[in-house]
Amino acid sequence: MVSDQPPTAEADPRFTRSRRAIAEALADLMLRTSSCPSVSALSEAAGIHRATFYNHFDSVEEAAVYVIADDFRALHDLNISDRQMGADPAAVAVATLNAMLDSLRQRKSLFLLASTWQSPSGLMGIGDLLVEQLHALRRDLGVGEGESGAHNSVEDVYTASGVHGVFAAAVGGNTDCDQEEIAVRLYALLPDWIRHPPELLASRVGDPAGQGTDQPR
């Protein structure tokens, strides 16, 4: 998790304001330059004291991961909302992957900076964030432990690391297909519990051939 803080701290409006100021200042700075700002420069841009920065993050790289986390959580919420409104689950999943990749491409310098961060768990870059996204998907799709192996950390790390690798290659231009195709191919490589959550399995009742909505249109 990125800079976990006690609930009491996150409930403090001053804490929320200063963290938001850091995130917005970093995002703005990285749009204008590809070089990593110093903590002092970032703190000045955010209108906070240098010591306040360290109440939120251990490094500028960790702050970059937080900015991306904010984007991804918003996309996750949209994903779940679209599913609840009856949109095709596979199409929604591909659209979400496409939107995540588009967001990273628009924030390329920020993503490259975030990719240098090593979390306390040992994962690099946005690895922890992607593991967090997997847990949120399990929760919001109603996938039980027996179906997904909710405590299978090897599967989580393997999936998160693989997705991170694909995103990094795509952002760097090291792929032989366009963005939409990357999202479709990546979706096909995700664990079965993501591609066939309960909502998809339910839609297959009476479909012995297993055609369902497995493949995005």
Pick from 108, 102, 89, 104: nearest CA to 178: 102
- What does the pLDDT read at residue 180? 86
Q: In the predicted model, what is the mean pLDDT of residues 30-35? A: 84
**Does a structural domain hold residue 128?**
yes
**Does a structural domain hold residue 8?**
no
The domain containing residue 103 runs over which residues? 59-203
**Does a structural domain hold residue 6?**
no
Distance CA 93, CA 88 (A): 9
Better-scored residue on pLDDT, 203 or 175: 175
Residues 6+ apart with CB under 8 A from 133: 72, 76, 160
How much is the pTM?
Answer: 0.80
- What does the pLDDT read at residue 40? 95
pLDDT at 8 over 60: no
Mean predicted lDDT score pLDDT of the chain? 83
**Does a structural domain hold residue 16?**
no
Better-scored residue on pLDDT, 86 or 146: 86
Number of domains observed in the structure of the chain: 1
**Does a structural domain hold residue 185?**
yes
**Does a structural domain hold residue 208?**
no
Sequence-separated contacts (24+) of 202-208 with Cβ below 8 Å: 203/89
**Does a structural domain hold residue 3?**
no
Better-scored residue on pLDDT, 133 or 5: 133
**Does a structural domain hold residue 48?**
no
Q: Are 97 and 78 in contact (CB under 8 A)?
A: no
Instruction: Convert the pLDDT of each residue in 36-63 to its tens digit.
Output: 899 999 999 999 999 999 999 999 999 9
